[in-house]
Amino acid sequence: MAALKLSLIQKYKPENAYTYVYSTGFLSGERALTQGAETIEEENAFFSHARPEQRVRALILTRKEEAPGAYSVLVLSETGIQEIELGEDFLDRENDPVLFSYRDSFGVIKAKKEIVYFTGDFSSPEIIPIKNGFLPFSKVLSDNARERYFQTVSDGRLVPVCFEKDVYYGLSRCFALLDFDPVKKEAKWKCFSEIEKNAFTHHDNRTKDAPKIDS
């Protein structure tokens, strides 16, 4: 599937070659509610005369062949392709960057600790720290939890994110919910859990590993 998604980029005849599709997303064209507007409808009415309606756009998290140490997000639309370079500081040996979208904006979760959030023309991202519990001894995410790329899908402010812990194979057996408020520019981990395999009729008792999951 990743190879198929990568081949679809070629229809845009990009200037660069890319290595792999790590995850994808969509921008719906709906505006997120900003301060000063009581409803989405009120805000959309205000902005409708200022710009044409945005159509659905696709997002792809990838890397360039010439710069494998740095991630990029590609924004694909009817009018062409836009590349947003994330920089080499996103390359973490333990935690994969996680892409998610919210209406006509998107974010990349970096090393469990912050969101790099892109709005407007995506040229000036905001850095939003993620709270991991309110006290040092009551962390939601344990120190040995590792972020994984796996596809993140959400239609609201709660974003499911896949993790590994204890044993690391590049898979995901745990998940957490990220509670994200784009208006207040706040984010916090809400829960961390794994699926109890004994709840399934057919399960493997040869190991203690929880079932592999994707969000």
Q: What is the pLDDT of residues 52-96, one digit of tens each?
A: 445 789 999 999 888 878 899 999 988 889 999 998 888 788 889
SS3 for 79-146 is CEEEEEEEEHHHCCCCCCCEEEEECCEEEEEECCCEEEEECCCCCCCEEEEEECCCCCCCCCCCCCCE
pLDDT band at 1 (very low <50, low <70, confident <90, very high): low
Evaluate whether residue 185 is within a structural domain. Answer: no
Evaluate whether residue 113 is within a structural domain. Answer: yes
DSSP letter assigned to residue 33: P
Q: What is the pLDDT of residue 32?
A: 44
Instruction: Return the ∠ at Cα 157 (arms to 175 and 129), rounded to 5°.
Output: 75
Return the structure tokens found at 88: 């080499």
Evaluate whether residue 195 is within a structural domain. Answer: no
How many domains, the chain? Answer: 1
Nearest to 106 by CA among 10, 15, 23, 11: 23
Tens digits of residue pLDDT in 8-64:
777 777 888 888 888 888 897 655 443 344 444 443 443 344 344 457 899 999 998
Evaluate whether residue 105 is within a structural domain. Answer: yes
Q: What is the pTM of this model?
A: 0.78
What's the chain's Rg over C-alpha atoms?
19
Pairwise CA distance, residues 45 & 157, whole Å: 23
Tens digits of residue pLDDT in 160-214:
998 988 777 777 778 899 999 999 999 999 989 877 666 666 667 777 666 666 6
Domain that holds residue 81: 2-155
Reduced to 3 DSSP states, what percent helix, strand and coil does the chain have, rounded to the nearest 5? Answer: 10, 40, 50
Coil, helix or strand for 59?
Answer: strand
Q: What is the pLDDT of residue 188?
A: 95
Evaluate whether residue 181 is within a structural domain. Answer: no
Evaluate whether residue 76 is within a structural domain. Answer: yes
Pairwise CA distance, residues 14 & 28, whole Å: 23
Phi, psi of 103 (to 5 degrees): 55, -115
Pairwise CA distance, residues 147 & 140, whole Å: 14
Tens digits of residue pLDDT in 114-159:
999 999 999 999 999 999 976 666 789 988 888 888 777 777 789 9
Evaluate whether residue 32 is within a structural domain. Answer: yes
Evaluate whether residue 64 is within a structural domain. Answer: yes
For residues 39, 42, 35 and 121, what is the CA-based torsion angle, rounded to 10 degrees?
110
